[in-house]
Chains A and B, each alone.
Chain A
Amino acid sequence: MSEQPDDLRICPHCGQENASHTMRCIRCGQELEELFELEGFETTGSSDGEISENEPTPMAEILASLDESPLLSDADNEDANPDVLAEIAENQSDSDKESQDWLERIRQRAKEEEDAAGELAKGAIAMDDRRSQEGRKQVDEAFDEIMRRIREQNEREKARRTRRVESDLVDENGDPEWLRRIRELHPDRENDSQVTQVTSGMKDTSDDEWTEEELQELLRREVGIPETPVEEPEQEITTEISTPSSVEEGVEIVSTIPEDEGIQGEPAQAETEPEVIHNIPDDEEEGFGGGAEDDIPSEESAALDLIEEPIQTEGELPSVTDGETEEALPEEETEANSEEKISEVESENLPSTEEPISTKEILPDLLLLKNQRERAQVFSEILGQEGRRTIPVLHESSRQSKVGRLVLGLLLILGVLLAILIGPSGTVDLPLSAPAAAFAKNLESVGSGDEVLIILDYQAATRNDIEPLAKRALDILKEKASNVRIVTSNPENIWLAGNLSQTGQVPDEFIPGGILGYLALAVGETPSWGEQPIDQVFSGNPDLFSGVDQIVLISDSAEFVRMWLEQVSPWKPEIKTSAITTSVSAPILLPYHDSGQLQGIAAGLADAKALDVEPQNLVNQRAFQVGMLLMIVVLLLGMIMKADEDAQRRSEERTQ
């Protein structure tokens, strides 16, 4: 044996350095026979004809045992040099002859040395130890490598399934994938539930949000893992939640059920016929699904029915080993038997980041199906609406608007009051409008003895805006010695007309029927056989428009003036018509003045100057100016606030 300083041996065939205990070259596979060379002995090849014939067996047995050893058996053995093998077989007969000789030498040396035999045994034992350690090390490394690969693959699979389930779990509406499938199978039931939700109001939106427990439970149902109760249900749930979206992992969880619970049976049958385990009465299920549930595939129906399964875990755990459920477990256990250890290793390596969720905490959410929960919500909302107002009130003013209105009103009254109390009335010099000038001109055209018909139709609320002008117009007509006839169809004007003259003049006639009464008098003619019923109301001449030259409408309603122009004036086109009205009606009546249907319009105190009436004599002009100024300020503030609100609303909409 060639001893190297670093315990390396050089292969005589290729020169490769090998370990001292190596029996074959790691490069060329050449057998390093020097290992068996003993000092003072020749090699096997070189001892031809010297082997003892009496003891040929030991050497052959040693070689055979070495060849048959699994540690030394290598694939390269088959490709070993056939020449060497033939030489060995050829020399085997010669070694028998030499056996006596080298055996004698061994014996001789054993006598001379203290532990001659121990030297060889020590080397063999050392060689065996090294081989056993190396083999165990290789096996361990190979096992660790396999474990590492399996672990990495498992983690990749886990991550991939997690992403898939997370993407498929809910859609853009927040509905899980399994719920969408069920909706596709049961459109009628879903529509009913949607209608119920709509009627129940918007409060359902907050209740429809998925909690963490619901999502995890949904996930468990999504992957189709039956939550089979075991002796340690909390541990199972914890493992399941920590590693969601993996069917294999779910199988691992199930496989953790002890075998001593008698899990036997037919796995295939259990897979095709999932047993419904729940404590809800059958009539409850019929009420929900009816016959429609039969249309649900076994997968979805099993997923639905599994909602009630945890109920079993609440109380009687032994009932888990029930019939078909027991049958389903062995199949999954056999499939996942190889991965069971891996899951255990993972459970040991991966720290649990979540607290174990007690089964009792999940049970309250699982006791009701979705329809049951929705119905319960509707019922609770119906009870909650007891005594509430169901029809919204239109134009319901808020407290802020009430306060604003009060402040504005008080401010206006206070300003007017202070303007009246402090200082003189003030003067105003308003420009004379064209319609007002036309009215004055038309009134001046009335000659002595002309028939003028005055039609009264105004309310007491506007008397301060109308009566000064009307009174001045009557005075002018009286000065011209014209025949004035005052009529009205508004009962209120019967007593209001007393303010128009110093004598407390009342209307000459009351015309029933409003504008239709005027129309009847304008259109109708006295028949030859008598008189019309409306003629009974006149104390004098029933022909109201007979000989009339001018008609002055005194009305605070532009609608009345327009109706007069539409209904009466076309029948009496020869009569000139003018109007005394309020400031409100002036803009509406201006087109009729432009078209020539109205000879003139005197609208409110602004046109009082046209009749030589000083406005300051009618109303406190300073108070009027204060009131108008306040209103202008309020209008500007309102416009600014409205613009600001609109801008904010648009910005919020843009943000959303």
Chain B
Amino acid sequence: MSTLDLLLLLAGLVLSLMVFSYLLGDTLLFGIAMYTLVGMTAGFTFLVLLQKVILPMAISPLSALPQTSALLALVPLLLSVLLIWLLFRKNRRTSGIPLGFLGGIVAAALIIGLTRGTLAPQLLSIVDGFNPNKMTSAGLPNWTGIFEAFMMLAGVLAVLFVFHHRRNKKQQDTFNYSWLDGLSGFGQVFIGITFGAIFVGLFSTGLVALIAYVQYLVDFVRLW
């Protein structure tokens, strides 16, 4: 093991212990570790963007003026200048141009993508669950497929009704039907299962990271 590797291991050990100090609260050591991480990430990101984005996409094309590609490169450069101007002059209308352009594009992309990529395919998937070919197997009912299709439909309707029921309850206090409450409770079961699975996955991921770094510390100590 080289000296550089040893120093890197030692630095990793110190930083890991500083992060573990968060058990004692938001201490100075934890803050130093966080600021170190953020600072290094920002600096590295700036270098990457400068090398991979700013220079090749905004500065280099200017050398090809008056070609079309070079003129076209002026558009992002101008928008970037307007954004930078926002740092010094707030509430400038001209600075809203790139932000509005960016916000409009993102919103449109999200709506179209959500419709095409999630809503339509998921609805088709639910309907496809009732495909006779999937509900039968060799001329006999495929009870597993049938149960899965109905549970999927019931789960979707119940979860959708949970939010609808909650909204109505907020809007009017007289919204009180026992069977609707029961259906809403049925949907909450699905939501609870989903959140439970997410929490287990989150804890599992964190636990794996913890074990890996404790193993790293143990291995470092065993070196001596």
Contacts and interface: CB of A to CB of B under 8 A. Distances in A.
A566 B201 contact: no
A228 interface: no
Contacts of B204: 583-584, 604-606, 628
Contact of B201 (A533, A536, A584, A597): A584
Contacts of A585: 201
Interface stretch (B18-26, B93-101, B160-168, B169-177): B18-26
Nearest to B152: A594
B218 A583 contact: no
Interface string B177-203: 000000000000000001001101111
B117 A627 contact: no
B65 interface: no
Main secondary structure, interface of B, reads: helix
A512 B57 CA distance: 10
A619 interface: yes
Contacts of A631: 203, 207
Residue in B58, B201, B215 whose Cβ sees the most chain A Cβ within 10 Å? B201
B138 interface: no
B125 to A, nearest CB: 4
Interface residues of B, number: 53
Given A516-B105, A516-B106, A619-B211, A537 B197 contact: no
Contacts of A165: none
A462 interface: yes
Contact of A416 (B72, B106, B210): B210
A583 B201 contact: yes
A595 B25 contact: no
B48 A530 contact: no
A461 B198 contact: no
Interface centre among B41, B48, B117, B202 (most CB of A within 10 A): B117
Interface in B62-83: 67-69, 72-73, 76
B218 A570 contact: no
Interface string B87-131: 000000000000000000110011001101110011011000000
Interface stretch (A14-22, A138-146, A407-415): A407-415
Given A465-B208, A583-B201, A417 B214 contact: yes
Interface hub of A533, A536, A595 (most chain B Cβ within 10 A): A533
A465 B202 CA distance: 11
A405 interface: yes
Contacts of B67: 530
Interface string B26-69: 00000000000000010011001100110011101100000111
Contacts of A603: 201
State the 6 A-B residue pairs at the shortest beta-carbon distance, nearest first: A566-B117, A566-B113, A583-B201, A595-B125, A530-B69, A584-B201
23 contacts: A405-B23, A412-B210, A417-B218, A420-B215, A461-B209, A495-B44, A510-B52, A516-B105, A519-B109, A533-B58, A533-B69, A536-B61, A537-B52, A563-B113, A565-B118, A566-B113, A566-B114, A570-B113, A582-B201, A583-B200, A627-B211, A628-B204, A631-B203
Interface of A: 402, 405-406, 409-410, 412-413, 416-417, 420-421, 461-462, 464-465, 491-492, 494-495, 510, 512, 516, 519, 529-534, 536-537, 556, 562-563, 565-567, 569-570, 582-588, 591-592, 594-597, 603-606, 619-620, 623-624, 627-628, 631
